[in-house]
Amino acid sequence: MKEDNRNIRHKILDTALRHNSAVYQALIQMGWFREADADYLAPEYYAPIFLVFQRYFSCGEVSAEKLHKAAEELTIHLPNFYKKYNLF
């Protein structure tokens, strides 16, 4: 069981954070994002998405109401994140 938990953690946290960090580092180097620590940006971006997933989709049935609430929260988070760091 412990091995399964580590594998799940690796897939949904570590891999996603490493990928996001690499993406933000590339965006910073290309001049599309403000200078910032890409390793900090990765969880700043991902944590709210992960929380929405846990809150609305990790247990129980997925309903239209849950989908609507998740979309509302992400609609707030994503533009705010990009407004904060995007240079365009």
Task: Please state the pTM of the whole predicted model.
Answer: 0.82
Residue 3: what pLDDT?
A: 64
DSSP class per residue in 12-74: IIIHHHHHHHHHHHHHHHTTSB-S--HHHHHHHHHHHHHHHHHHHHSSS---HHHHHHHHHHH
Whole-angstrom distance, CA of residue 83 vs CA of residue 86 = 6
What domain range is 59 assigned to?
2-85
11 — pLDDT class (breaks 50, 70, 90): confident
What is the per-residue pLDDT across 23-80, written as a single tens digit (0 to 9) for each? 999 999 999 999 999 999 999 999 999 999 999 999 889 999 999 999 999 999 999 9
CB 73 within 8 A of CB 48: yes
Crossing angle of helices 64-85 and 38-57, in 10° steps, is 170
pLDDT of 1 over the 60 cut: no
Number of structural domains in the chain: 1
